[in-house]
Amino acid sequence: MILLADEDFPPFSFRSRDGQLAGIAVDMALATCTELKLSCEVLGRPYDALLPALQTGEAEAIVSGPHLDKGLPGYAETTRPYFWSLGRFAKRTGSPLEDSDYKSLAGKRIGSVKDSAHAAWLERHFPRSTIVTFETESGLQEALRTGTIDALFGDSFRVIFWISGSGSRACCKLLGGPYTDRAYFSRDLGFIVKRDNDGLLAALDHGLDRLQERGFTSEIFARYLPLSPW
């Protein structure tokens, strides 16, 4: 079975240094095929070529690329999500803050990127905190590193890559657990198949369920992320 993935969508799908296609979505797809005892190959394509290739029958499914929240064309439908984007808080290492609920952060300065979904969510759910917005993500990160703000809030992947990378200078750590809110920042990630291919859709859903039940989903994410997003 031929599956397609965006060639430039790290950490979900990308070309590794040796030119091979790799990433969370690629490994999830191949592991799902193993669970279903199917022979599969994942091929890389530019983003704009993915849906047309599915429509013409060049491939049976797309495993990464199109944004599901923006809607799919009538000829396509999606499996159940295997992941949805999360929001995470970070604090300075050594900060006395112990949790990220609205009571713990009451009266604290929380930073986020200006005009982002994460900033809007903070305004809605943390009215007792002072929300400080920054024009750039780097400005936000520097504000936390230097103690200008007490915590920052943003996309879980971007937060954990920053605090685990050299740019943070080991200043900071995650605070509390992940947040999900589909009205603001949580977007689904799943596989896309042609509409009316109910047999394949059901099979892929079953395979994804098996990966989660057996702990393989979190294992695959750990291959590409320095910290758990959950």
Per-residue pLDDT of the chain (230 residues; tens, 9 = 90+): 999 999 999 999 999 999 999 999 999 999 999 999 999 999 999 999 999 999 999 999 999 976 655 678 889 999 999 999 999 999 999 999 999 999 999 999 999 999 999 999 999 999 999 999 999 999 999 999 999 999 999 999 999 999 999 999 999 999 999 999 999 999 999 999 999 899 999 999 999 999 999 999 999 999 999 999 98
Cα dihedral 47, 51, 54, 56 in deg (nearest 10): -110
Residues 66 and 72: their CA atoms lie apart, in Å, by 8
Q: What is the pLDDT of residue 68?
A: 55
| From the candidate CATH numbers 1.20.1630.10, 3.30.360.10, 3.40.190.10, 1.20.1250.20, the one assigned to the domain spanning 86-179 | 3.40.190.10
State the pLDDT at residue 66: 65
DSSP, residue by residue, 84-115: E--EEEEEETT------STTTTTT-EEEEETT
Per DSSP bridges, beta strands 130-134 and 41-45 are unpaired
Whether CATH 3.20.20.140 fits 2-83+188-224: no
CB 62 within 8 A of CB 12: no
In the block, tokens 């605070």 appear at 175
Q: Which residues pair with 43 in a beta bridge?
A: 4
Topology alike, domains 2-83+188-224 and 86-179: yes
- Model pTM? 0.90
Residue-level pLDDT at 209: 97
Segments making up each domain of the chain, as ranges: 2-83+188-224, 86-179
pLDDT at 67: 62
The whole-number pLDDT of residue 70 equals: 63
Which secondary-structure segment (H or E) carries 160? helix 156-164
Say if strands 76-78 and 192-194 run parallel, antiparallel, or are unpaired: antiparallel
